Amino acid sequence: MKQRNIFIILAILFIMIASQTIMGHDLNGRDIANMGNIIIVDGILSFEEGELYLTTYDNIKYNVHLGPEFYSNEIGFKRDNMHGQSATVKGFYYEFDISAIQIDVGDMSYLFRTEDGLPLWRGRGGGQNRVESEDDC
């Protein structure tokens, strides 16, 4: 009986912690790719306080998740140079977050994930972005 009560309490705590993470918008690109649906939106990019945003022409502001900065730099996507640029973003969205699959700026296309949600930098970060399970990527 005591073990059952302890199990129930632990399960409730786990659910509360998981809910806080989702409700607190502490989502990363992997979470959004796992939970989201694909969207294509046009707008203006802005770089604010270390975060990249896309504000659509309907004035909806999305936080755009790209993955590790080393990969963005490697493919020539300099986040701070994108401020004010018109762009088309294709990615997984959840609420007001987008995990980018592709960003088109002018005549350049930058790829970040596959349409299955797999990051293109996978296996290239020297283990610094390793997760506990391959299913989490």
Mean pLDDT for the stretch of residues 90-116: 96
Full-model pTM: 0.72
**Inter-residue contact 42 to 57 (CB < 8 Å):** yes
Domain range summary for the chain, segments of one domain joined by +: 28-122
Residues in the chain: 137
**CA of residue 58 relative to chain centroid, distance:** 22
Architecture of 28-122 per CATH? Beta Barrel (2.40)
**Predicted confidence (pLDDT) per residue in 8-57, tens digit:** 776 665 665 555 444 445 788 888 888 889 999 999 999 999 899 999 99
The span from the CA of 73 to the CA of 33, in Å, is 21
